[in-house]
Amino acid sequence: MVDKELLFPYDKLRDEQKQLIEDTRKAIDEGKNFLVHAPTGLGKTIGVLGPALKHAIENNKTVFFLTSRHTQHLLAIKTLRDIDRNFSIGINCCDLIAKKWMCSQPGAENMPSAEFNEYCKALREDKLCEFFENSRKKGKLSSKAEAALEQIKAKMPADTEIINTICRNEKLCPYETAMFLAKKANVIIADYNYMFNARIRDNFLLKSGKKIKESIIIVDEGHNLPQRCRNMLSEKLSTYAITMAIKEAKKFGYHEEIEKLSFLLEVMKDLASGLEEKEEEYVLKREFVKKIDDVMNYDEVQDRFMIIGDEIREQQRRSFIGSIARFMDMWKGPDKAYGRTINIKETKYGIVLTLNYRCLDPSIISKEVVNESKATIMMSGTLTPTEMYADLLGFKNYVMKEYRDIFSERNRLNLIVEDVTTKYTARNNEQYKKTAEILAEITNAVPGNSFVFFPSYQLRNYVHRHFESQSRKRIFLELRGMSTEEKNKFLAGFKGNKKRGGVMLGVAQGSFGEGVDLPGDLLECVIIVGVPLQKPDLETRDLIAYYDEKFGEGMNYGYIYPAITKAMQNAGRCIRSEKDRGVVVFMDARYAWDSYRKCFPADWNMQITKRWKERVGEFFKSSNSE
Ligand code: SF4
């Protein structure tokens, strides 16, 4: 039922999806923010993009579709193309990814983001970027860039790949050219940074001429936004970075600075002098500042490092000295809503000390954006408890809704096995043995592939020792910190094993816990062993204390709910569309507790069982006979 009034370009409009469209339209018309928990497969993207676009076109507003995933950029573009093909409403779209991924300078994509921004700025200011120079003439678009823009417009709605290819062929800067595209765009697809990172946003809004209050902002995979915002406001300094900065100073002949940097190294060691028995401890702002001020002037050192960093970036892409200046600047920031710690870690570079300045409150940057916008729609398949996200991000004037998981009811079996636990106090060899035994019984009963997620690699390794002799499936072990190439190769091997059935043993926070789609019969079972709680380190303790003071919900907001969200994300790898069928098993006694169970959507119908092997066997038998 293609519907022009709803801008719905597909044949089948389900009741839940129609409701989502109506609710989104109402929220935008009333200028309210809208928090949406809606399961995978419901069709969220068209459900919110259609009404947002309609409102934007009729009222001269701009839709921002913010997502951190490449696949979601592509899905949003595809949805716009489907709308355009059916209704020809004149969509002007600009698809933006992080600037370093759009940059025409070779090797830019390998630089850390903060370093890249300094590098790009220095090149532009010194007129050393030929691509930038080719793109602009006296502050306006050059004729070459104008011609490229026409080529891009002819391919509307164009994705970043089209923009990059056309601009690189013409030796232009894709980002600068895209800014001119953004000026006329009624839909901008971009990473969260373009709205929630103050520096990137201000620069982007200035160049594109867009205004927050004239924007309808859609935040996709919104459960990730709190941590992303915290990361944007956090900074760290390591002894590794200082050692590299000393090498840099030697290489470029900044001999006076070598002494200052060596002293900084001593300051770090001094701050960490209490770390003999423990891995981390708190540091006060004044401790670090005073130790430097006692010997030299903190502000003067910071300024000098900043200037040197800029000078070095004219000759090479990154500067460790410049990054130290950035940290010193951040360290002078407020104490409220921030944590300051130093920790020690054994790394591939040897023992490394790291001084951390971590933000605890994402609403510092999110609340202005969401409350100033015409309407912000935040959606996710794991946005429960929804009111927590409203609190964490500082939403005002909002409505929220949880949509029913219509596929889960018939396509998914959700089991709780309470016979084991990964609680710290209960960890022992007997638990690992028992866990391995149950895992083998379940995965052996699954006809195809299974994913098993553990809270840590260490725990995974303990269980794996007992599991391998009992499993009849091929075992795939996820490795820590896999590159994209390694991940793709690993997944290709895993998928190729679906007939015989494989078992991937990984960790909840690892490479495959989120953002991996294995549709159809490529994945038939997901098992979450234990609760993927954060390590109870100082940052976690700070979060708990902060949210206790702010909302009286420290343990829930700072510790338990983020772990449940992670477990739900892991579970979501199994059912990606209405046709997928699968089993999800939550293996830990705590999932049976009311305080944990109430965090899951009611329609997940989680059932405690002692007959896990039989239940799984029966489920797949009934699936095959349908
Ligand atoms: S101006 Fe453009 S091409 Fe030049 S460094 Fe910056 S992003 Fe890269």
What is the per-residue pLDDT for 578? Answer: 67
Which of 100, 104, 170, 180 gets mutated to test ligand 1 (max ligand atoms within 8 A of its CB)?
Answer: 104
What is the per-residue pLDDT for 559? Answer: 93
Q: What DSSP character marks residue 559?
A: I
Q: Residue 123: CB within 6 Å of ligand 1?
A: yes
The CATH number that applies at residue 516 is 3.40.50.300
Is 292 within the bounds of a domain? yes
How many angstroms separate the alpha carbon of residue 488 from the centre of ligand 1?
29
What is the per-residue pLDDT for 299? Answer: 96
Is 554 within the bounds of a domain? yes
pLDDT range class, residue 276, cuts 50, 70, 90: confident
pLDDT above 90: residue 441: yes
Same domain flag for 417 and 329: no
Is 527 within the bounds of a domain? yes
Same domain flag for 307 and 373: no
| Residue, of 267 and 276, whose pLDDT is higher | 267
Where is average pLDDT lowest: 38-47, 171-180, 280-289, 432-441? 38-47
- ipTM score of complex: 0.98
Same domain flag for 386 and 447: no
Kindly report, residue by residue over 143-201, the tens digit of the pLDDT: 888 899 888 888 878 788 888 899 999 899 999 888 888 888 999 999 999 999 998 89
How many angstroms separate the alpha carbon of residue 625 from the centre of ligand 1?
58
Kindly report, residue by residue over 374-401, the tens digit of the pLDDT: 999 999 988 888 999 999 999 999 999 9
Same domain flag for 317 and 350: yes
pLDDT range class, residue 8, cuts 50, 70, 90: confident
**How much of the chain, in percent, has pLDDT values that exceed 70?**
97
Domain boundary among 301, 325, 359: 359
CA nearest to 571, candidates 600, 601, 524, 528? 528
Same domain flag for 47 and 170: yes
pLDDT above 70: residue 94: yes
Q: Residue 104: CB within 6 Å of ligand 1?
A: yes
What is the per-residue pLDDT for 210? Answer: 94
Same domain flag for 491 and 599: yes
Same domain flag for 422 and 372: no
Is 430 within the bounds of a domain? yes
Same domain flag for 467 and 335: no
Same domain flag for 322 and 386: no
| Residue, of 349 and 269, whose pLDDT is higher | 269
How many angstroms separate the alpha carbon of residue 184 from the centre of ligand 1?
22
pLDDT above 60: residue 461: yes
Is 10 within the bounds of a domain? no
Same domain flag for 449 and 393: no
Note down the domain range covering 568.
Answer: 406-625
In total, how many domains does the chain have? 3
How many angstroms separate the alpha carbon of residue 400 from the centre of ligand 1?
41
Is 50 within the bounds of a domain? yes
Q: What is the number of the ligand 1 atom nearest to the C-alpha of 123?
A: 5
Same domain flag for 355 and 368: no
Is 558 within the bounds of a domain? yes
pLDDT above 70: residue 626: no
pLDDT above 90: residue 481: no
Same domain flag for 392 and 252: no
DSSP 493-556: HHHTTTTT-EEEEEETTSTTSSS----GGG--EEEEES--PPP--HHHHHHHHHHHHHHS-HHI
The answer for residues whose C-beta is within 8 angstroms of residue 449's C-beta and 6 or more apart is 494, 495, 497, 498, 501, 502, 503, 504, 518, 522, 523, 524, 525
How many angstroms separate the alpha carbon of residue 130 from the centre of ligand 1?
9
DSSP element (H, E) containing 219: strand 215-219
Is 8 within the bounds of a domain? no
The CATH number that applies at residue 331 is 1.10.275.40
